[in-house]
């Protein structure tokens, strides 16, 4: 849910140089699997042993073969010992509403931990625990968009309909809206403008009709288009400002809808997360939209990586088993 990075990226980082066997305490694995990028973090006794990242391992986002390859590579770069099971694993993933997506991840991760110690949740459910919160609303703007809320054991969701039916305010939607604007200019006999020049250069295409054809040629891989969202957000083209304003309005609407569904006390916090929040203009507009539309007690942007929320949930699962 952080800023999209090149799909070829695959790295792992050991944190302190100590071998895992030199530490003691629960061995936990957390994964944050977004529509563009996957991250994993291994801890032993509360200390971070290693981080790893790879392309998306989400079944609907990447397809079975690419998701399997990405997850295999993600785990291979961590110091995992098949003979020494982890105490618990938690994976937060995009696209879990797609049939088979949850089972796919469970089957891949089950060999790493004892039965019942593998937790699979929506990637949106990682944000509140990553912020150290048990109650409130999280709004995520990455490849897609969704809001989730938790209060007294109750969980609700607003948005997250997927790129065909919704995901307004997400990266794919932002790029699609930019292409729609360029097509409108073409129909009116107007030049593509600076936004058109930027998108054509980024996609290595000759003109707006070619951009339209390419968009239809890649309808099932939203991340491929979402990676251009920051380019649109940072463009000085006037249409970009309109897209930012409309996307931010959706963020506020999602937060308000989730708070209304929760029916909790006034003043629950709202936490924003996702790669699009890395753009200062969108971040500012989104925070202002939530403040104006939702009766939140506070509005903040997640400071830690969402994978930290996966580790917190894995720790809770380990405590239940102990």
**Is the separation of the CB atoms in 90 and 117 below 8 Å?**
no
What pLDDT is stored for residue 25 in this prediction? 78
Distances (CA, A) of 88 to 73, 101, 128, 161, 241: 20, 20, 19, 30, 45
What is the Cα–Cα distance from 275 to 36, expressed in whole angstroms?
Answer: 10
- Whether 184 shows a pLDDT value over 90: the answer reads yes
What mean pLDDT comes out for the span 29-41?
A: 90
pLDDT in tens, 157-169: 999 888 888 889 9
9 pLDDT band, cuts 50/70/90, is very low
What pLDDT is stored for residue 7 in this prediction? 29
322 pLDDT band, cuts 50/70/90, is low
Which residue spans within the chain are E strands per DSSP? Answer: 11-14, 27-33, 37-44, 47-55, 88-93, 118-122, 136-141, 145-151, 154-159, 269-273, 298-301
Q: Which two tokens stand for residue 151?
A: 């209060």
pLDDT in tens, 246-289: 999 999 999 999 999 988 788 899 999 988 999 999 999 999 99
Specify the pairing of strand 269-273 against strand 136-141. Answer: parallel
Distances (CA, A) of 174 to 84, 193, 229, 233, 247: 45, 17, 6, 8, 8
What are the φ/ψ torsions at residue 303 (nearest 5 degrees)? -90, -30
Q: Which two tokens stand for residue 85?
A: 């099971």
**Is the separation of the CB atoms in 29 and 314 below 8 Å?**
yes
- Domains delineated in the chain: 11-123+305-321 (3.30.420.40), 132-303 (3.30.420.40)
What pLDDT is stored for residue 220 in this prediction? 67
What mean pLDDT comes out for the span 289-307?
A: 88
What is the Cα–Cα distance from 180 to 218, expressed in whole angstroms?
Answer: 16
What pLDDT is stored for residue 250 in this prediction? 95
| 154 beta partners | 151
What pLDDT is stored for residue 233 in this prediction? 94
Per cent of the chain over pLDDT 70 is 91
What mean pLDDT comes out for the span 30-56?
A: 90
Distances (CA, A) of 107 to 68, 100, 113, 115: 11, 10, 11, 11
- Whether 321 shows a pLDDT value over 80: the answer reads no
What is the Cα–Cα distance from 249 to 133, expressed in whole angstroms?
Answer: 25
Which of 16-20, 35-39, 81-85, 255-259 is least confident?
A: 16-20
What pLDDT is stored for residue 14 in this prediction? 47
Q: Which two tokens stand for residue 181?
A: 């604007």
> Taking the model in full, what pTM does it have?
0.79
What pLDDT is stored for residue 309 in this prediction? 94
Mean pLDDT, rounded, of the chain: 87
What pLDDT is stored for residue 319 in this prediction? 83
pLDDT in tens, 186-241: 999 999 999 999 999 999 999 999 999 999 887 667 778 888 999 999 999 999 99
**Residue, of 3 and 172, whose pLDDT is higher:** 172
- Whether 171 shows a pLDDT value over 50: the answer reads yes
Distances (CA, A) of 24 to 27, 48, 50, 312: 8, 12, 15, 18
């Amino acid at each position: 849910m952080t800023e999209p990075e090149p799909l070829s990226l695959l790295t792992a980082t050991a944190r302190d140089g100590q071998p895992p066997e030199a530490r003691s305490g629960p061995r936990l694995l957390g994964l944050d699997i977004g529509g563009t990028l996957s991250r994993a973090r291994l801890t032993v006794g509360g200390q971070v042993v290693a981080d790893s990242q790879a392309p998306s391992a989400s079944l609907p986002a990447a397809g079975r073969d690419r998701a399997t390859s990405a997850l295999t590579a993600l785990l291979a770069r961590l110091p995992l010992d098949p003979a020494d099971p982890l105490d618990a694993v938690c994976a937060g993933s995009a696209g879990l509403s797609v049939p088979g997506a949850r089972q796919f991840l469970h089957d891949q991760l089950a060999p790493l931990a004892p039965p019942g110690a593998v937790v699979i949740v929506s990637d949106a459910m990682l944000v509140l625990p990553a912020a150290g919160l048990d109650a409130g609303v999280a709004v995520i703007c990455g490849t897609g968009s969704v809001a989730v809320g938790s209060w007294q054991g109750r969980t609700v969701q607003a948005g997250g309909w997927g790129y065909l039916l919704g995901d307004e305010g997400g990266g794919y939607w932002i790029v699609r809206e930019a292409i729609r604007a360029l097509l409108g200019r073409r129909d009116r006999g107007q030049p593509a403008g600076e936004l058109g020049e930027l998108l054509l250069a980024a996609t290595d295409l000759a003109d707006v009709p070619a951009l339209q054809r390419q968009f239809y040629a890649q309808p099932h891989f939203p991340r491929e288009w979402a990676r251009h969202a920051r380019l649109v957000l940072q463009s000085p083209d006037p249409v970009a400002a309109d897209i930012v304003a409309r996307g931010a309005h959706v963020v506020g609407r999602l937060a308000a809808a989730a708070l209304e569904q929760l029916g909790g006390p006034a003043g629950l916090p709202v936490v924003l997360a996702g790669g699009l929040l890395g753009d200062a203009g969108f971040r500012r507009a989104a925070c202002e939209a939530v403040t104006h539309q939702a009766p939140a007690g506070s509005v903040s942007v997640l400071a830690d990586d969402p994978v930290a929320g996966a580790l917190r949930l894995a720790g809770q699962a380990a405590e239940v088993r102990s």
